[in-house]
Amino acid sequence: MGSGDFIVEGLVIKVGDNIDTDVIIPARYLVYTDPSILAKHAMEPLIPNFFEKASKGVILVAGRGFGMGSSREQAAIALKAAGVRAVLAESFARIFYRNAINNGLPVLVVPGISREVNDSDFVRVNVGTGEVVVNNGQKVLRARPITGMALEILMSGGLLEYVKSRYGSRIM
């Protein structure tokens, strides 16, 4: 493993296409700012027991258009706090993608993943190289790797931690 490697792994929870931010975190919970409260309601309309399933650390796999809809930052925060270690999808809504990176949640575009990976598969992802290993080598998929500053932000735990580590007390 090289110094730029950033590995996440876990069992898969699989969802379909066009999962919007209202499904990821319903609007009625946006009054809360505590990530642990948001986490309990992540994916609630689609998978009522999502929090219990995700709490041990999972990889969320989706089809096309993940994170579409309103640009609520709480969607990425809720998933991460619930135990989602990464989201792998065919495509993402652009604003969700960037909100996820800024909040320290790896999100990778993986062509064909919704056909290749099933619920409860075990997935190991090298975020920096884009290698996605399914079931200990049964399949190897290629994601678009996250590189440069976006990878540095993820490795820091999010944009705020990245800025603090770079500029320290000079910004506070």
For 24-76, how does the pLDDT look when each residue is reduced to its tens digit (9 = 90+)? 999 999 999 999 999 999 999 999 999 999 999 999 999 999 999 988 899 99
Whole-prediction pTM: 0.94
Does 170 score more than 80 pLDDT? no
Top pLDDT among 171 and 122 is at 122
Q: Which pLDDT belongs to residue 109?
A: 98
What residue type is assigned to position 104 of the chain?
G
CATH classification of the domain holding 108: 3.20.19.10
- Please report whether residue 32 resides in a domain: yes
Residues 93-130 pLDDT 10s: 999 999 999 999 999 999 999 999 999 999 999 999 99
Residue 5 clears pLDDT 90, i.e. is over it: no
91 part of a folded domain: yes
- Residue 109: inside a domain, yes or no? yes
Tell the residue number behind the tokens 């090289």, with chain if given: 2
Pair of tokens at residue 33: 């700012």
- Domain span at residue 42 reads 12-131+153-171
pLDDT of residue 1: 43
Q: Kindly state the helix (H) or strand (E) to which residue 13 belongs, with its residue range.
A: strand 7-14
What was the pLDDT predicted at 172? 54
C-beta neighbour count of 1 within 10 angstroms: 7
Q: Is residue 124 part of a domain?
A: yes
Say if CB 132 and CB 141 are below 8 A apart.
yes
Q: Is residue 39 part of a domain?
A: yes
Which tokens belong to 138?
């049964």
